[in-house]
Amino acid sequence: MDIFTVFSIIGTIAFAVSGAIVAMEEEYDILGVFVLGLVSAFGGGVVRNLLIDIPITTLWTQGMLLKTAIIAMTITFILPVRWIKQWKKSEAFFDAIGLSAFAIQGALYATGKYPLSAVIVAAMMTGIGGGIIRDVLAGRKPLVLRDEIYAVWAMAAGAAIGLKWFVTELDLLTLFVIVIVFRMLSVQFRWRLPRRSLRFTLAQSVHSEGKKRFAALNDKLEKERVL
């Protein structure tokens, strides 16, 4: 079994279980559990294939990974609730494993065939694409676009592979661990990318405008009283 297959299996299990748990949190039936689990595990790969012109039908040749995902989701569905709660406590860690594994897998798909920019995009979309589709189907704001630094680590992994800083199997395993560590550090210390919220600014603007109108109305009433 080569390193590419190992990363595929690790990422598939981590994201399939993640999707199944999100479906159960949203009280979806067993069909919804399997749909969200499969989307989480394979959605990023499908998006990546579209972007780098790999036939999407290659998904159906991944019989072992499909079976792995189905087994992982079935076990998750029948697990006692207390066990799932234990998983939830470690959710960020397993999510980091999936992110790292899929980012490296996506980069390996594109490296040597496409320019560095394509390798970075392939790594990012493989790592975060399934999670975005899962959250949209679950009616949630995509976690990867609003939480701690997330997609950046997938992009960094893609850049490192595209620049051939990590080439051998040992190198890739080292990179796998590095991405997990940095993802967990970003969770622990709540590292975030710069953001600008318009909600508070707009609310202040509306409040300020309301005060101006109220003051103008008061002035008008005072003038009418004087007259």
Structure letter (DSSP) for residue 190: T
Predicted confidence at residue 220, as pLDDT, reads 64
Closest of 24, 7, 174 to residue 87, by C-alpha: 24
Q: What are phi and psi of 54, to 5 degrees?
A: -105, 135
Predicted confidence at residue 213, as pLDDT, reads 67
- Give the Cα separation of 22 and 66 in Å (integer): 19
Conformation bin of residue 82: beta by default, left when phi > 0, alpha when psi is -120 to 50: alpha
What is the reported pTM?
0.78
Closest of 97, 60, 72, 86 to residue 16, by C-alpha: 72
Predicted confidence at residue 36, as pLDDT, reads 94
Digit-by-digit pLDDT tens for the chain (227 residues) are: 677 677 778 888 888 998 999 899 899 999 999 999 999 999 988 888 888 877 877 777 888 889 999 999 999 999 888 877 777 667 778 788 888 988 998 999 888 888 999 999 999 999 989 888 988 998 888 877 766 678 899 999 999 999 999 988 899 999 999 999 999 998 888 888 777 766 666 556 655 665 666 566 666 666 666 55
- Give the Cα separation of 64 and 117 in Å (integer): 30
